[in-house]
Chains A and B, each alone.
Chain A
Amino acid sequence: MNGAQHILEAFHRHNIQTIFGYPGGCIMPLYDALVDDVRVEHVLCRHEQGCALAADGYARASGRLGVCIATSGPGATNLITGVANAHRDSIPMLVITGQVPSPLIGTDAFQETDVLGMTLGIVKHSYLVESADELPAILEEAIALAQSGRPGPVWIDIPKDVLLTEATTAPIPTPAQPQAACPDLTSALALLRAARKPLLYSGGGISLAHAEDSFRKFTECSKLPAVVTLKGIGNPGKYSTHNLGMLGMHGSRAANRAVDECDLLLVIGARLDDRATGKLDGFAPNARLIHIDADAAEINKLRSAELAIRGDLNAILGELTQALRETPLAIIDWQKQCQTWRTTGGFQTAVNEEPMAPITGPAFIRQLSRVAPDDTIIACDVGQHQMWVAQHYQFAHPRHHLTSGGLGTMGFGLPAAIGAQFADRQSTVLNVTGDGSFMMNAQELATIRRYNLPVKLIIMDNQCLGMVRQQQELFYNNRESQINLDDNPDFVAMARAFDIPALKIERTDQVRRGIETILAYNGPMLLHVAIAREENVWPIVKPGGSNKEMIDETRRSTADKKENIA
């Protein structure tokens, strides 16, 4: 077998059945090998960034490894945003690129770029393969590494001659995964029991560790009031009465208030990102902190932990549940207080029943949440619509909410939805996007059409870059700069050009029917939703400000003044 065939053999060994890629000069030996291989489904996207983001969406929705492939030079550089996106959100991904033949490396050959050098900061690890004989072992190591511990993208750059050379290496056995012992939780339980106002703070690490069920059992047993990060949305499920919602810059008043008042913060699978914590000086000022995470480098990175526990979240949550089942926490007053905040400080939206009224973002998302099936997967883009989904859609599971949290990649949603639909052919997959984000990877409409994926596209169109406009309004004296998109193309006509049916709605009385129409359609469909230009996401914390200083609609005129949570 040559190097290219070894790659396909590695895919088979690891049950990798779907890959996303785009061919080109130096990766052609792999595409030649694919011709004779019916076991791998290769999805041809229309841009390499689409390939990487589709692989990312596939991994997020399924919990399995996402794989993307491209050629050298521009193929590789086009992947970079998608790989950086996966890196920032710890998504398991294998990236394979062709490189110019070994003798030509360093000669400024056609389509040569220093892929290894330019991607060091956005990968968990990377390799430049120097001989075909070492390729099988590198593939095994890379596939295991991408999915172990804190997952992330692993990039293998392979010169064309290596892909073509016969490898003599014997197959490498897959290394056994060591069974990690559960760390001692005596101190954690003692801190929990000593606290009067303990609060659970969970993030994307729960689903990354495949610990969704353990987490759900823990929350049900402990009855701890809980907040979630953007990537932790869905962790507590749709019906948890203890969930105060997302914290942070666009978090609920209830969540930020609870963080402000708690005396113990139990952080599980989260990295205390600045969008979640706000200004660190004012974050959880009265709280001792227990930090449980798979990544030792996240412990004490931004906030010192009273107690740090590194280990398998499934095992840790299981032990904590068992201990609390035997002796429950006595925090009834705190639970009641948080319930009160949940009632009064949850995400609110004005309801306008007037049929001719313009559609508002939050009201639309709430209606979508009521109508869409429980197993619906939503891939968002980045901006106001992303926050409205985070605030107002009720997610049953964290893998149903695909959002670019760390990197904030506009253009993520459409290819991520494609990846998610390949991962789960049965579920309803929606891409909820904005008019700005949609145009960043609109070429992938062709991919949806080619594979006849029943992905539904919802463009929330306010004819501007809404989140930038909002911050210019609030924090830059309303001096609008380069946010106007009122010359957008006709999105309905654009979809139809890709042979995707589409319809437009612009009034409140059209919302329910519009949503039901696209959900019922047997195939891809686009819903163009016209919304008001001036609408903002509330509440908001000024970037760099403390979460105590939340601004809401009634206080927008006093945006520059410091205000307490009330």
Chain B
Amino acid sequence: MTTESSNKTPSYTITCRMNHEAAALERLCQVVRIRGFRIEKMAVETSGGVLDIALTVQGTRPLTMLQSQLKKLYTVAEVILTTPVPAPATSRTA
């Protein structure tokens, strides 16, 4: 299920865990913007060398595209969707 904002653009909440290093948050935010989403809310916690980021994003493109691009970042360890949307039924991965 997606949550919907007032203008009906789908919004999603995801959590990311990534290394805490120079430009880490900028790197993450830039991917969100370039891939067609807008950040609605962001909360960051630092623990040791790790950043835990809770992110509410809004956008009309498939969220899977954003997730895969965030996972591709070298310093991102995991991306978890906390408001899940069903995966496309036709696709499977070997």
Contacts and interface: CB of A to CB of B under 8 A. Distances in A.
Contact of A296 (B68, B75, B88): B68
A184 B26 CA distance: 38
A160 to B, nearest CB: 17
B91 interface: yes
Given A127-B22, A297-B71, A308 B91 contact: yes
B74 A121 contact: no
A116 interface: yes
B22 A308 contact: no
Interface in B59-88: 64-65, 68-69, 71-75, 88
Interface residues of B, number: 22
A305 B26 contact: no
B74 to A, nearest CB: 4
A297 B72 contact: yes
A300 B68 CA distance: 10
A295 B65 CA distance: 13
A191 B41 CA distance: 44
Given A120-B27, A125-B74, A145-B74, A299 B93 contact: yes
A34 to B, nearest CB: 27
A187 interface: yes
Contacts of A308: 91-94
A46 interface: no
B34 interface: yes
Interface string A282-326: 000000000000011101110011111110000000000000000
Contacts of B73: 125
Contacts of A375: none
Contacts of B23: 116-117, 120, 126, 128
Interface in A102-134: 116-117, 120-121, 124-128, 130
- A-side interface size class: 20 to 34
A97 B78 CA distance: 30
A188 interface: yes
B93 A121 contact: no
A120 B93 contact: no
A544 interface: no
Contacts of B21: 127
Interface in B34-75: 34, 64-65, 68-69, 71-75
Contacts of A296: 68, 71-72
B94 to A, nearest CB: 5
A120 B26 CA distance: 8
A130 B72 CA distance: 24
Nearest to B67: A297
B90 interface: yes
B91 A300 contact: yes
Nearest to B28: A120
A314 B92 CA distance: 22
Interface in A178-234: 183-185, 187-188
10 cross-chain pairs, A with B, having the tightest CB-CB distances, nearest first: A297-B68, A125-B74, A128-B22, A308-B93, A297-B72, A183-B94, A309-B94, A116-B23, A120-B30, A184-B94
12 contacts: A117-B26, A120-B27, A145-B74, A297-B72, A299-B68, A300-B65, A300-B88, A300-B91, A305-B91, A307-B92, A307-B94, A308-B92
Interface of B: 21-23, 26-27, 30, 34, 64-65, 68-69, 71-75, 88, 90-94
Interface of A: 116-117, 120-121, 124-128, 130, 145, 183-185, 187-188, 295-297, 299-301, 304-310
